[in-house]
Amino acid sequence: MGKLPAIIGTLPMMIVAIGVFVIGIGFTIVLSFTNVKFFLINISFVGLRQYDILWSTARWVESVKHIWFYGFGHIALCLVGGFLLAVFMDQRIKAEDTFRTIFLYPFALSAVITGLVWQLMLDPIWGFQAFVRSLGFADFSFAPLADGDTALIGMIVASTWNGAGVTMAILLAGLRGVDEEIWKAAKIDGIPTWRTYISIVIPMMRGAVATALVLLVVNVVRTFDIVIAMTGGGPGISTQMPATYVIDNINSRNVGQGMAAATVMLLPIAALILVQFYFRWRASLKGRTT
């Protein structure tokens, strides 16, 4: 007795946890082994055929390459940029709140808005390139979106503008969690500041780095809105992503194929969760021995 209202109160949570997340993912995985078009009629199991088709479809193979390139670029820039911003913000500067407000506001804006405004900024005729050329640098060229080989770079610039501030905020919190005594000790030992950051402070704030990294990875895997707003996947297929492949296949009534792609998208997330479990398990072992 007594617990019944708690169970009733959390019924929506149980429905979401089991009914949507567990069963939904199971449903996706099962459908990836079928030839389902859109409605669940006349379907049959086809084994791994959808996966064979998936990995022999140029657009998917390219999409996977794109997400790696985009992901590494975006995450590296956010972490390095966010860390530099955090370090500079941590120098007892004046107007810290103003700077924080400026670095963070892009995150309040949606990926659609980010994509649209950067599409204009990077437009060869209207954007930044034209501005610099009008200053007299006639050979200046920075219009990555116009060319399939560089379009992803433009997308990285835009998404980093949107996300670097959040990384900064998380890393700044980590930085301020580091004991002040460390700095005194390092100074007495005559260790240069940059060396203290790299060898002592960063390892000490690995929790914040891990949090920032996990958030970045999760957001990269689901990249969709910014592609639609900024490039529509083009030029050609040069900015297509796994997420757009899944949605396009559902829209074109080729659900089985879309579900195979969706299942593959689960893999990096599964890996992330396994890594997390591993670290928790190791921490619990440590806890027992000490």
Partner 1 sequence: MSLANSNTIEPSGPKPRRVTAARIGIYAFLIMAAIFFLLPLAVMILTSMKSMNEIRGGNIFALPTQPTFDYWIKAWSSACTGVTCNGLAPGFFNSVKITVIAVPVSIILSMINGYALSFWRFRGSELMFGLLVFGAFVPFQVLVYPIIFGLSRLGLFGTLPGIIIVHSIFGMPILTLLFRNFFTSLPSELFKAARVDGAGFWRIFFSVMLPMSVPIAIVAVILQVTGIWNDFIFGLVFAGRENLPMTVQLNNIVRTSTGTVEYSTNMAATILTGAVPLIVYFVSGKWFVRGIAAGAVKG
Name which of 33 and 161 has its Cβ closer to partner 1: 161
- Kindly tell me which of 151 and 262 has the beta carbon lying closer to partner 1: 262
In whole angstroms, what is the distance from residue 172 CA to residue 212 CA?
Answer: 11
d(CA 232, CA 171): 33
Give least dist CB 115 to partner 1, A.
9
Question: Nearer to partner 1 by C-beta: 88 or 278?
Answer: 88
DSSP structural state of residue 21: I
CB of 287 to partner 1, least distance (A): 18
* 194 or 289: CB nearest partner 1: 194
Backbone region of residue 136 per phi and psi (left: phi > 0; alpha: psi in -120 to 50; beta: other values): left
Provide the residue type at 152 as one letter.
Answer: L
Please, which residue, 51 or 107, has the CB nearer to partner 1? 107
Phi, then psi, of 254 in degrees rounded to 5: -130, 55
Distance in angstroms (rounded) separating the CA atoms of residues 264 and 241? 13
Our CB check for partner 1 shows the closer of 149 and 181 to be: 181
Smallest gap, in angstroms, from Cβ of residue 16 to partner 1?
5
HSE-up of 2 (CA within 13 Å, CB side)?
A: 0
CB of 289 to partner 1, least distance (A): 25
Q: Hey, which residues does 34 pair with through a beta bridge?
A: 45
- Shortest distance in whole angstroms from residue 166 CB to partner 1: 5
**Residue with Cβ nearer partner 1 (69 or 128):** 128
Nearer to partner 1, 13 or 58 (CB): 13
Q: In sequence order, what are the residues at sequence separation of 6 or more whose Cβ sits closer than 8 angstroms to the Cβ of residue 112?
A: 225, 226, 228, 229
Q: Is residue 122 within 8 Å of residue 157, measured between CB atoms?
A: yes
CB of 187: closest distance to partner 1 in angstroms? 7
Phi-psi sector, 109: left (phi>0), alpha (psi -120 to 50), beta: beta
Kindly report whether the peptide bond that precedes residue 235 is cis, defined as omega within 30 degrees of 0: yes
Minimum separation from the CB atom of position 69 to partner 1 (A) = 18
Task: Supply the minimum distance, in Å, between the C-beta of residue 262 and partner 1.
Answer: 4
| One-letter-per-residue 3-state SS of 139-200 | CCCCCHHHCCCCHHHHHHHHHHHHHHHHHHHHHHHHHHCCCHHHHHHHHHCCCCHHHHHHHH
Tokens (6 digits) for 87: 């370090």
Q: Which residues are registered as beta bridge partners of 45?
A: 34
Number of H helices, E strands in the chain: 16, 0
